[in-house]
C-alpha cells in the first residue's frame, strides 16, 4: 500500500519577492528587506501572516515594496514593540483616579523626599485621609485625564460648604485647602508619569484661621503667668509638670511625654539643663526622633520651675535613667498616653475659669516663646529654643521682639534727652 505525501508548492518567482502555497492551501509571502534579511509576512503584532488567495498575497507584497521604496519600512518586531508601548501608554492614560491615587499613596510611603528621608507615618496618614475621605468619593473611577479645572471647581465649591469641625461659625473650614494640595500633588505626579500633559493650574486658597474669627487677636493665645499657674493647680499632681514644661521650657506635647529622667542634667549651682532627644509619637505609640533635627536641643530650665521639677522627680518618677518624666502612674515605667493627657487637659482647662474655652495645650508653648521674645531674644535664639527648622514659623514672634526693640529705643531716647537737658 503506497502513501502519497502532500508536497508544498514551490515558491513562485515574482518581479520582487516570492510567493508559495502552503499545505494548508493558504499563501505565504517573502521579501528582501533593507536590513539584508529575507522576511516572511507578519502582522503588526509580529505574528505569522498568511493569505487566503495568491492575489491577496501579491497585493500585500506590493504594499510592502511601496513602503520600502518610500523609506517607511520598519522591521516587524520594531513595529510590534512600538504598538505595545502605545497600547500600554493609552491604558495608563485611561487609568481611573481611585486606582492611581492608591498607587500614589504607596509611592509616597516608600519614596524618600528630596532631602533623602522617608515621610513620617503621620504625614502619609494625613494624605491618605484626604484621598479616601474626599478625593475618591468625588472622582471615583473618573480617568485622571478627565479631571480638569471645571471638575475641580465643582469639588472646591462642594468642599467649601462643609462646616468647620473646630468652629462651625468660621468662614473657612480647614478642609478645602489641604484636600486641594493633595490633589495637586497627585496630578503633578501623573504629569511626571506621562499620564497627562500637565497638571491643571489649581488655585490653592491661602491659609486662614479656622479656630478664630477675623477679629481674633493673636495675643489671646498667650496665657498670662496667672493663667499658667491656674492650669498648673487644676491639673492632678502627677501630671501637672506638663503645664510648666510646655509654658516655661516651650516643649511640644510629644516632647513632654518623651522626656526621661536621664534627659535632665543637674548642675552644682542648683540649675538644670533639659535635653530634648526624642518625642512620644501619637501616631505610632512609640518613641521617635523629634519633629526635625532642630528639635534636638538643650534648654536651660527657668528658675521659676526648678524646685517644682525637683519635687516632681522625687515624688512621682522612678530612679532609673530611662523611666518617663511623666508616667502613667506614680514611679511607673510607661509614659502617659496622648489620649489620656487630652482628657486631663480638657478637665484642667474647664476648671481654670480664667482660661478661654478654646485655649490649646500647644498655646502654652506659644506663651513661653512670646515671653522669651519679649525679653529680647533674637529670631535665631527663638528658633533654637523652640526647636524650629523654618524661619517662617518663628516670624510670628517678630511682633514681640519689635515690642522689646521699641522699649529699648524709648529708653535710649530718655537717656539722650536727660543728658541733653543737663
β-sheet bridge partners, residue 279: 288
pLDDT of residue 10: 53
β-sheet bridge partners, residue 333: none
At 231 the three-state DSSP class reads helix
CA atoms of 332 and 338, how far apart (whole Å): 16
Residue 58 in any domain: the answer is: yes
CA atoms of 68 and 74, how far apart (whole Å): 8
Residues 239 and 353 reside in one and the same domain? yes
Q: How many residues does the chain have?
A: 422
Q: How far is CA 78 from the centre of its chain?
A: 42
> Cell numbers 508601548 label which residue?
85
Residues 124 and 226 reside in one and the same domain? no
- pLDDT tens over the chain, length 422 residues: 444 444 545 555 667 899 999 999 999 999 999 999 999 999 988 899 999 999 999 999 999 999 999 999 999 889 888 888 877 777 777 899 999 999 999 999 998 888 788 888 888 999 999 999 999 999 999 999 999 999 999 999 999 888 766 566 666 677 889 999 999 999 999 999 989 999 999 888 876 655 555 555 555 678 999 999 999 999 999 999 999 999 999 999 999 999 999 999 999 999 999 999 999 988 788 899 887 889 999 999 999 999 999 999 999 999 999 999 999 999 999 999 999 999 999 999 999 988 988 899 999 999 999 988 888 888 888 999 999 988 888 887 877 777 777 777 888 888 888 888 87
Residue 197 in any domain: the answer is: no
pLDDT of residue 309: 97
By CB atoms closer than 10 A (0-12, 13-18, 19+), residue 210 is middle
Q: How far is CA 162 from the centre of its chain?
A: 23
By CB atoms closer than 10 A (0-12, 13-18, 19+), residue 330 is exposed
Residues 226 and 340 reside in one and the same domain? yes
CATH code: domain of residue 343: 1.10.443.10
Residues 226 and 341 reside in one and the same domain? yes
Residues 238 and 357 reside in one and the same domain? yes
Considering 78, 113, 130, which residue would you say is the last residue of a domain?
78
β-sheet bridge partners, residue 272: 266
Considering 62, 78, 94, which residue would you say is the last residue of a domain?
78
For residue 154, give its domain range. Answer: 103-192
Taking alpha carbons only, the member of 8, 24, 21, 74 closest to residue 46 is 74
Residues 349 and 239 reside in one and the same domain? yes
Residue 60 in any domain: the answer is: yes
Q: How many domains would you assign to the chain?
A: 3
Residues 235 and 350 reside in one and the same domain? yes
Residue 325 in any domain: the answer is: yes
Residue 371 in any domain: the answer is: no
Residues 150 and 39 reside in one and the same domain? no
Residue 4 in any domain: the answer is: no
Residues 136 and 242 reside in one and the same domain? no
Residue 406 in any domain: the answer is: no
Neighbour count for residue 31 (Cβ, 10 Å): 20
Q: How far is CA 222 from the centre of its chain?
A: 29
Q: Which three cell numbers stand for residue 363?
A: 498655646
pLDDT of residue 128: 95
pLDDT of residue 2: 46
Taking alpha carbons only, the member of 125, 123, 156, 155 closest to residue 138 is 155
Residue 271 in any domain: the answer is: yes
331 contact partners, CB below 8 Å, separation of at least 6: 316, 317, 318, 323
Query: What is the pTM (predicted TM-score) of this model?
Result: 0.63
Where b means 16+ CB within 10 Å and e means fewer, 59-77 reads ebbeebbeeeeeeebeebe
Q: Which three cell numbers stand for residue 371?
A: 515671653
Residues 122 and 28 reside in one and the same domain? no
Residues 157 and 255 reside in one and the same domain? no
> Cell numbers 485625564 label which residue?
145
Residues 182 and 115 reside in one and the same domain? yes
DSSP 96: B
Contact 308, 295 (CB under 8 A): no
> Cell numbers 498648673 label which residue?
232
Considering 172, 192, 212, which residue would you say is the last residue of a domain?
192
DSSP 42: B
pLDDT of residue 291: 78
CA atoms of 1 and 137, how far apart (whole Å): 78
Q: Which three cell numbers stand for residue 92?
A: 495608563
Amino acid at each position: 500500500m503506497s502513501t502519497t505525501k502532500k508536497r508544498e508548492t514551490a515558491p513562485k518567482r515574482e518581479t520582487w519577492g516570492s510567493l508559495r502555497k502552503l499545505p494548508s492551501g493558504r499563501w505565504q509571502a517573502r521579501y528582501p528587506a533593507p536590513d539584508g534579511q529575507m522576511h516572511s509576512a507578519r502582522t503588526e503584532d509580529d505574528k505569522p501572516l498568511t493569505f487566503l488567495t495568491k492575489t491577496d498575497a501579491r497585493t500585500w507584497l506590493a504594499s510592502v515594496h511601496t513602503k520600502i521604496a518610500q523609506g517607511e519600512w520598519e522591521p516587524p518586531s520594531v513595529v510590534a514593540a512600538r504598538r505595545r508601548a502605545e497600547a500600554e501608554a493609552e491604558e495608563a492614560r485611561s487609568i481611573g483616579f481611585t486606582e492611581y491615587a492608591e498607587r500614589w499613596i504607596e509611592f509616597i510611603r516608600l519614596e524618600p523626599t528630596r532631602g533623602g528621608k522617608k515621610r513620617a507615618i503621620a504625614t502619609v496618614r494625613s494624605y491618605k485621609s484626604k484621598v479616601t475621605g474626599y478625593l475618591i468619593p468625588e472622582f471615583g473611577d473618573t480617568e485622571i485625564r478627565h479631571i480638569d479645572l471645571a471638575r475641580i471647581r465643582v469639588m472646591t465649591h462642594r468642599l467649601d460648604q462643609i462646616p468647620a469641625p473646630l468652629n462651625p461659625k468660621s468662614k473657612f473650614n480647614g478642609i478645602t485647602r489641604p484636600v486641594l494640595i493633595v490633589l495637586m500633588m497627585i496630578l503633578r505626579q501623573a504629569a511626571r508619569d506621562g499620564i497627562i500633559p500637565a497638571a491643571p493650574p489649581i488655585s490653592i486658597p491661602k491659609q486662614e484661621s479656622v479656630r478664630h474669627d477675623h477679629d481674633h487677636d493673636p495675643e489671646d493665645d498667650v496665657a498670662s503667668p496667672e493663667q499658667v499657674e491656674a492650669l498648673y493647680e487644676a491639673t492632678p499632681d502627677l501630671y501637672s509638670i506638663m503645664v510648666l514644661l510646655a509654658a516655661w521650657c516651650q516643649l511640644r506635647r510629644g516632647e513632654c511625654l518623651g522626656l526621661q529622667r536621664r534627659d535632665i542634667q543637674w548642675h552644682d549651682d542648683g540649675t538644670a539643663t533639659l535635653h530634648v532627644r526624642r518625642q512620644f509619637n501619637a501616631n505610632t505609640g512609640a518613641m521617635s526622633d523629634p519633629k526635625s533635627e532642630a528639635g534636638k536641643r538643650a534648654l536651660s530650665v527657668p528658675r521659676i520651675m526648678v524646685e517644682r521639677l525637683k519635687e516632681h522627680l522625687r515624688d512621682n518618677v522612678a530612679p532609673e535613667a530611662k523611666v518617663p518624666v511623666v508616667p502613667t502612674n506614680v514611679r511607673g515605667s510607661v509614659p502617659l498616653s496622648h489620649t489620656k493627657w487630652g482628657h486631663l487637659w480638657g478637665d484642667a482647662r474647664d476648671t481654670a475659669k480664667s482660661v478661654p474655652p478654646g485655649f490649646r495645650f500647644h498655646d502654652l508653648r506659644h506663651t513661653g516663646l512670646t515671653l522669651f521674645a519679649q525679653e529680647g531674644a533674637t529670631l535665631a535664639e527663638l528658633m533654637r529654643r523652640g526647636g524650629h527648622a523654618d524661619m517662617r514659623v518663628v516670624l510670628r514672634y517678630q511682633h514681640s521682639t519689635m515690642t522689646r526693640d521699641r522699649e529699648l529705643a524709648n529708653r535710649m531716647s530718655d537717656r539722650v534727652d536727660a543728658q541733653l537737658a543737663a
